[in-house]
Every structure is written in C-alpha cells, then in structure tokens.
Amino acid sequence: MEVKPSPLPMLPVRDWSDLPTDALSTIFMKLGSIEVLMGAGLVCHSWLAAAKSPELWRSVDMTRHKVVFSKGIDTMCAMAKVAIDRSQGKMESFLAQKFVTSELLDYIACRASSLKSIRLIACRNFWEPSLAELATQCPLLEEIECSGNKVSSEFLVYVGRARPQLKRLKIHMRWFDEDAMESEMEHEMEHEMMHDDDDDEEEEEEEEEEEGEFLYEDENVDDDEDEGEKDEEIEEDEDENNDDDDEEEEMEEDEDLDEDKNDVVEEEEDEDMDEGEDDENETNEEWEVRKNKDAFAIAENMPELRLLQISGNNLTNKGVHAILDGCPHLECFDLSECYNVRVDDQLRARCAKIKHAWLPRQSPRVHCLDLRVIEEDEGEDYGITMQDLWEAEVETLEAEAKMEEGSYGDYYEDYSALSSPESCVDSKDALVCTMEAVPSPLPDTDSDRDWSELPVDALSAIFTKLGLLRS
C-alpha cells in the first residue's frame, strides 16, 4: 500500500497593504511617474497614501512611455498637474515629452519654486515667453532643455540675463539649411504671384472682349454721325503737319544734349561698380551675424555653462570661437550636425581642452551619457510590447521542452533559447512564427504563494529584469 506524503504546511499570506509608507515610497521610486499615477497609486488606500509622499515627486519623468503617445494633451497635462501638486513645492526636476503647453508651464512656475531642471522633448504647444517667465520665477534653475524646437536668440538673451548661473543648456534639433529653405519659400511666393498675375491678365482680357462687343454694337448705330466728324478731323491733321516741322528742329537740339548726358551716366556707373564690391563685403558680414545670433547670445549671457548641446544649429566657426571665449567652464560641447562649422586644426586645438567635444562629421565619438538625446518618438508603442516578447520567450522554452521529449506537434522550428526580453527578436513575423509551435498552456494552480519567501538570488534576478524593462 502506497503511503501518500503529507501536505506542506500552509504559510500565512501577507497583506502587502500593511507595508510601512516609507517602504512603499522607496519601492515606488523605482517606478516611473506615469506608472505611479496610473497604476500603483490606484491599488488601495495605503498605496495611494504612499504615492502622495512629496519626496516621491522631487523628480518627475514623463517621457519614453507609450501613454505619452496614446493619451491626449489635456489628459497628460492633468496628470502632470497632479504630480506637481503632490510635490508640495519640492519638485526639482521636470522631464516631459510632446504634451507640454504654455498653461502647464505657468502652472509649474507658480508651484515649483525649487525647480532646478526642466527638460522638454519635442514639445511644440507652448510659447517661448512662458518658458522665459518660468526661468524668471525659479531662482534655482540650472538646466534647460528644449530639444526638437527652434528657439530664438531673443529667448536665449532673456534667459541668460535672468539666470546667469545656468549650467546646462540643450537645444538639440535636426539640421536644416536656413538659406535653402528661405530661397525655396521665396521661389514659391514668386510662383504664386506669377500665377495670380496670369489670372488677373485673363480676367482683363475677358473684360476687354466684353467691352469690344459692346463698342461694336454702338458703332453700327452711330455710323452716319461719324462721317461728318471725319471731315473736320482731316482739316485738323493738316494743321498738325505744319507743327511737326518745327518739332523736328527741336529734336535735333535735344540729341546733342543727350550725348552729353550719356557721358555723365557712364561715369556714374563706374562709381556704382566700386560701391557694389563694398556692399558685397558687408553682405558677407551680415550673413555671419545672422548665422551666429544664437551663438553670440549664449557667449555674452551664459558664462557659467558646463554643458552646451547646440547640435543642428546654423552657427559658423566665428560663433564657435565666441562660445569658447564666453563660456570658459565648458566640459561637454555638442556641435554634431552643425554643418556650417569647418573643422580645422585651430578648432581641434581649442576643443581638445574640453572633456567631451562632439564635432560635426566626427566619428567615432567619445561616449558621454550627459549628451544622450531622447528622440522625438522614443517610447512609442509599435504593436509589440516587452511583455509580449517575454511571454513569447516563455512559450518558446516550453515548446523546446516538448521537442526534447519527441513530441514535435504539427509544426517544427529550430528554436534557440532566449535569455532575456531584450534578446527576443523585435519582429511581428518572428513572434507569429514562434506562437505556431506553442503547446497548450499549463493549468493554473489554486494555491496562493507567499512571494516574500522567494530566495534572495531569485528576487535579485527579478529586480534585474525590472531594471532592464525600465531602461
């Protein structure tokens, strides 16, 4: 008779809502601001209380999340206001992507006097004066990022004068040739004007044709009256012929005067040619000034900068040297995609004194985490999430186990073991192919597990995966 083993003793199930608030706050700090606002803070009252801890909202990061791309601007601004209110004036860093408006910037300026860093990624729904006013009302501000936007030199001058202690400025944007764009716009405007003139000419011709038809009808009616008038006109023409002889003599005298005037005009044209060369030189200087407005504004008003990311700007070598002279404490300088800058030996020698200097057309570049750019669409969900890839990996391993037992099923693929979600292929076709050979799912167990009894090495592995997913 077989002896059945005695069942394992049931361990007491812990109520995670009884965890101390400080412990929950520490755990929530590992999550992102959006996850806390939309997930952890909605579980129970104790978790909501922990989610309202001001210490949790010193740094608010609302970037690289699929919610940013799926929710409307009003919804995201409302979530940001909740985070700002929970900080109780202690927020030091605010990082947002795409949704920021002028009204939200005004809200931050009134409620975050401790703000030290504001970073706006591809936010095109606010006006520059709102950001400038925020800089004025936040005396501790040391970092401003406005990536993906074209900011004016007037804004840089205003911010530099309001916050001369600014240490980090990022105004990264994609390169475009301003002169070529202006030329193209002028060409389009000329084309439209010519098209409008052609339309006006066609309308005038149609009006003239209508008037001609009207006059033709009037001539048929008044033919008899015109015959008498023609006789009078013939007599007047004879008198005019006598006057023409006198006019010919006067014209001969005028020709002599015109010859003298032509000599004077030729002398004036020679003088204009000389003046034209001077005007061309002035135009080149004006071009340099126009291209380097941003650079001159930074050099003259932000002497304490340690990091400057101005990639994609239209500045020239003259502007770069002005920045190097006006910002002597620079440690990180990003000039990538500044294709008006000519990299010569003089520029290399000056940039060699900077810890991290990224020059245009330079490869490879020294890695610098502070100069990393958050792309405009970074974090957008394209259909396959990390959870989907992880589930596909688990199912692949289960399919491999079946294959080792000799039960290959209806389909067979040479699967290889995957070690993490990052090693999964990011392709819908590969995911579908993997799903075809998956056996039936394992039955669910009814027993409640006490996850707090997991070994320390297992918990470390789980936390490592969470860190990977977060990054």
pLDDT tens-place string over residues 300-338: 999 999 999 999 999 999 999 999 999 999 999 999 889
User: Is 114 inside any structural domain?
Assistant: yes
Residue 268, in any domain of the structure: no
Instruction: Give the predicted TM-score (pTM) of the model.
Output: 0.61
Q: With respect to residue 246, please indicate whether it lies within any of the assigned structural domains.
A: no
- Provide the residue range defining the domain that includes 48: 16-141
Structurally, the chain folds into a number of domains equal to: 2
Residue 84 lies in a domain: yes
Positive or negative CA dihedral for 133, 134, 138, 141?
Answer: negative
CB 121 within 8 A of CB 145: yes
| 228 inside domain | no
Q: Determine the pLDDT at residue 13.
A: 66
Give residue 334's pLDDT.
94
**332 is a domain residue:** no
- Helix 293-301, helix 223-291: angle, nearest 10: 40
Of the pLDDT bands very low, low, confident and very high (cuts 50, 70, 90), residue 402 is low
Question: Side chain identity at 305, as an amino acid letter?
Answer: L
Residue 430 falls inside a structural domain: yes
At 237, give phi and psi (nearest 5°). Answer: -65, -35
Question: 224-243 in b/e burial notation, b at 16+ Cβ within 10 A?
Answer: eeeeeeeeeeeeeeeeeeee
Asked which of 141, 175, 200 is the last residue of a domain, the reply is: 141
Highest mean pLDDT of the ranges 1-15, 222-236, 250-264: 1-15
Is 177 within a domain?
no
Better-predicted residue by pLDDT, 77 or 231 = 77
Residue 432 has pLDDT above 50, yes or no: no
Residue that terminates a domain, selected from 121, 141, 161: 141
* Beta-sheet pairing, 93-97 with 332-334: unpaired
| Averaged pLDDT for residues 1-24 | 72
* DSSP character at residue 72: -
User: Under 8 Å CB-to-CB from 123, ≥6 apart: which residues?
Assistant: 96, 97, 98, 99, 100, 146, 148, 149
Distance CA 367, CA 68 (A): 28
| Closest CA relative to residue 308, chosen from 290, 288, 291, 328 | 328
Residue 309: how many other CB atoms lie within 10 Å = 25
- The helix-helix angle for 153-162 and 293-301 (nearest 10°) equals 0
Cα 287 to chain center, whole Å? 26
Record the tokens describing residue 70, joined without a space: 């799926």
pLDDT at 223 over 90: no
Q: What are phi and psi of 463, to 5 degrees?
A: -65, -30
pLDDT for 347-368, tens place per residue? 999 999 999 999 998 877 778 8
Q: Which of 89, 115, 141 represents a domain boundary (last residue)?
A: 141
Q: Report the pLDDT value the prediction gives residue 419, as an integer from 0 to 100.
A: 37
